[in-house]
Amino acid sequence: MSASATTVQLVQLAAAAADSKGGTDPVAFDVSEPLPLVDAFLLVTGNSERNVAAIADEVEDVLLEAGVKRIRREGRQESRWVLLDFGDLVVHVFHDEERTFYGLERLWKDCPIIPIELPATATAE
């Protein structure tokens, strides 16, 4: 079993939303095999508590516009690690120190990676 096409599409939307607010190092794992209730995890990093909160808020707003309601949110008050549960997709927005400390990439390293395609950004010359 692998993540549904709809979930992969949501990963792309969430990653683009995070990127638009300065989120870095996005990685998505297809966790549908070990976790039958979830298809994918998206991990992204913010550089401050304020940035983590802004990234989480933007992801939530973009997915809500796409018709996907958040089931649960945790960690918003501290904004060091915000977890957004959308059912088939769980988004983890970390402060860089927490991402390093908890090392979810190590825990899920055996799961397939879902490629993320971010929109191209224009560069000034």
pLDDT at residue 25 is higher than 50: yes
Residue at token pair 């096409």: 5
pLDDT at residue 124 is higher than 50: no
User: For residue 31, which phi and psi values (nearest 5 degrees)?
Assistant: -105, 20
Task: Please name the helix (run of DSSP H) or strand (run of DSSP E) that holds residue 91, with its range, or none.
Answer: strand 89-95
Contacts of 81 (CB under 8 A, 6+ apart): 52, 75, 92, 93, 94, 95, 98, 99, 102
Separation CA 123–CA 101 (nearest Å): 33
Model pTM score: 0.92
What the chain holds in terms of domains, given with CATH numbers, is 5-114 (3.30.460.10)
Question: Region 69-74: what's the mean pLDDT?
Answer: 95
